[in-house]
Amino acid sequence: MNKREFVAGGVAAAVAAPVLARPAGGALRELMTRTQRLPDLAERAGADAFEAYVGERFDIVAGAGSGQQLVLESVERVSRCAATEQFNVAFAPARPGGPLDDADGVRLLRHATGQRVALHLERSQDGYAARFNLLA
């Protein structure tokens, strides 16, 4: 081991020590939620799949507002039965007060994972909303 490796290892240990000193349950749960794979929105476009993306950023790559970033803010479950699932998904501009296009319409959104999903977005009070009524 040379001097550079020794110093780098010591710095890594000094940085990791406070993280490891936290209660194991909270730190482990936080680590697990950050490393779990996000569901594929194109294959499983249900409320559960969208809830995994709350707080995540999406780029508008096609449609009105192309080039803007949106954050998925919430998923509101409206109704669910054996035959259908109804829910709403709310998006807000990634930069508060950022410009929003007034036109409702289909937009192609891309997540950092490379996933793409086309959604019909409607203007809402604070951003955009996508409304789903899925047959089971």
Q: How confident is the model at residue 25 (pLDDT cuts 50, 70, 90)?
A: low
Specify whether 22 is located in the same domain as 86.
Answer: no
For residue 106, the enclosing domain spans 47-135
CA-based nearest residue to 57, from 110, 104, 120: 110
Higher pLDDT, 96 or 93: 93
Within this chain, do residues 30 and 68 fall inside the same structural domain, yes or no? no
Do residues 83 and 22 share a domain? no
Q: Report, as an integer, the average pLDDT of 74-82.
A: 87
Q: What is the pLDDT of residue 40?
A: 79
Q: What number of other Cβ atoms are within 10 A of residue 2's Cβ?
A: 7
How many Cα atoms sit within 13 Å of 112 on the Cβ side?
A: 10
Cα–Cα dist 130/132, whole Å:
7
Q: Which helix (H) or strand (E) holds 129?
A: strand 128-135
Give residues with Cβ within 8 angstroms of 90, minimum separation 6: 72, 73, 74, 75, 76, 124, 126, 127, 128, 129
Judge if 54 and 28 occupy the same domain. Answer: no
Higher pLDDT, 102 or 24: 102
Residue 130 domain flag? yes
- Regarding whether 97 and 63 lie in a shared domain, the answer is yes
> Same domain for 89 and 68?
yes
pLDDT at 72: 93
Q: Hey, how many other C-beta atoms are within 10 angstroms of the C-beta on 117?
A: 18
CB-side neighbour CA atoms (13 Å) of 15 = 6
How many domains in the chain? 2
For 76, residues 6+ apart whose C-beta sits below 8 A from its C-beta are: 87, 88, 89, 90
